[in-house]
Structures are given as C-alpha cells and as structure tokens.
Amino acid sequence: MRLKDKVALITGASSGIGRASALLFASEGARVVVADIDEQGGIQTVESIQQAGGEASFVLANVTSDNDCKGMIEHAESTFGRLDILFNNAGVMDSNDDNVETTSEETWDLTMNINAKGVFLGCKHGIPALRRAGGGVIVNTASFVGLMGAATPQIAYTASKGAVIALSRELAVIHARENIRVNALCPGPLRTELLMKFLDTEEKKQRRLVHIPMGRFGEAEEIARAALFLASDDSSFVTGTEFVVDGGIMAAYVTPE
C-alpha cells in the first residue's frame, strides 16, 4: 500500500476527481478527510470508503473561507492525529465564463475565489500541519489550460488555473528544505460533471475533442491515479512541477523553447 499510515485531506471530494482520489487513496492505506461544501455528496464518499474497509471522516468546508480552511486542517489533526497529504482539488467552472469582453466581474470573482484563493488558503493553513508532521505533500489541481489557453473561451477559469501553477511553483521552492513537496496537477479535458456542464452542446464538445490526440475525454479515475503518484513516495524527488495528464494535447500543440 503506497499510502499506508498516511493522513490525506482532499477538498472537493464529493464528486469527480476528488471522490475518485478519496476512494483510491483510502484503498492504498490512507486515512482520508473528505472536505466539501456539498455535505450529502461528501458523506456519500465517506460511506463508500468505509464500506470498502477504509477510514474516512467528513468535514464541511467552503474553501473560500479562511475559517473553514483552518477548521478542516484542525479536523484532520484532531481526528487522525496528523496531516501528511493535502490535495487542494476543489474547483468551479462557471457556465457563464466566456471571453474577456463578455465575462462578468461576478463570474471572475467567483472563479478566482474558489480556484485560486481556495488553494492559497488550503496551503496557508495546511503547511504548518505538514511541518508538524515532519514534512508532507501538497497536490494542487490546476489544468492544462493554465499552461496553453483554452479552445473554448473561459477566461476566468484559465487565469485561475495559471495562478495555481505559479503558486505551486513558488511554494515548492520555499518549502523544499522542510521536506514538503508541492506539485500542480494539470488534467486535460475530462468526462466529469464539471466540464460536461460547461461543454453543454455537441459543438463545444467537438471543439475540445478535435484537439486531443487520444480522441477522447479523460476519466476522473485516471487523474486520481496521477494524484496518487504525486502524493506517494513514488514521486519523492518530484516537486515544483506541472504534472500534465492530458491525452497528448501539450505534446501536439506546445513547441519547446
């Protein structure tokens, strides 16, 4: 088991990548704290873990709230005694997100608050806990669009994920000597509820699919396996990276300098 005796906190774990990762981490021996604003979905994730023989606990948390982020870290330490892995995964893709001329300030603020500020607050309160544990791992969910832009306009989402990548890089450098690794996980387009709600027409779906060399959307479980690699000792010399899992998009469209 690659996460035996580890304690992992995953935000946005009521569905999608978060739920898939929570189930996988637990199956690899981690005790998992499921943090989400969706209480019903979060509890269902915990119940699924427990039914499979794992250990998990739910904490209600809005990642845009400083108090909630502080509280979810405290919950992890008080429930399981420590924190070894922090997976800042909670995110939003607003259907009103569009190009820079038409996207509203409300959509911009909502997206940046959840996707970027939420990661900042998770790290702000999580890093001291990892330090108390003698080191640990942070995985922050970014996106391939934070590296190359999106075919379908979504300016706030793209900007927020670029912020996550830059934040992860700096934290990796600052905390490397404290045995704290930080990496940005950059998924390509996935067949998750989050993206399918945004790509709400066949035309929009095809505009994404045509750019994916593998010709299909990724699955949440595939990203969970990448997160497991980054969270485990298998990646013990990996920090400060943009870990891209995109079906070949970057290889096809980004020219090395």
Q: Any idea what the CATH number is for the domain that residue 133 is in?
A: 3.40.50.720
> What is the spatial distance between Cα 111 and Cα 109, in angstroms, rounded to a whole number?
5
Specify the number of domains making up the chain. Answer: 1
- Residue-wise pLDDT for 211-226, tens only, equals 889 988 999 999 999 9
Helical (H) or strand (E) element with 164: helix 155-175
Known catalytic residue: 253? no
* Dihedral (Cα; 20, 22, 27, 31), 10-degree rounding: 180
User: What is the structure's pLDDT at 256?
Assistant: 64
- Residue-wise pLDDT for 58-88, tens only, equals 999 999 999 999 999 999 999 999 999 999 9
Mean pLDDT of the chain: 95
> What is the spatial distance between Cα 65 and Cα 90, in angstroms, rounded to a whole number?
13
With cut-offs at 50, 70 and 90, classify the pLDDT of residue 257: low
User: What is the structure's pLDDT at 196?
Assistant: 77
Question: Is the pLDDT reported for residue 96 higher than 80?
Answer: yes
Domain contains 255: no
> What is the spatial distance between Cα 171 and Cα 165, in angstroms, rounded to a whole number?
10
Catalytic residue among 87, 120, 144, 157: 157
Phi, psi angle pair for 205, to nearest 5°:
-60, -45
Question: Is the pLDDT reported for residue 205 higher than 90?
Answer: no
Q: What is the pTM of this model?
A: 0.95
Cβ pair 13, 35 in contact under 8 A: yes
Domain contains 252: no
Domain contains 41: yes
Question: Is the pLDDT reported for residue 92 higher than 80?
Answer: yes
Domain contains 253: no
- Looking at per-residue pLDDT, the higher value among 95 and 117 belongs to 117
Domain contains 149: yes
Domain contains 251: no
Domain contains 69: yes
- Domain with 52, as residue range(s), is 7-245
Question: Is the pLDDT reported for residue 186 higher than 70?
Answer: yes
Domain contains 163: yes
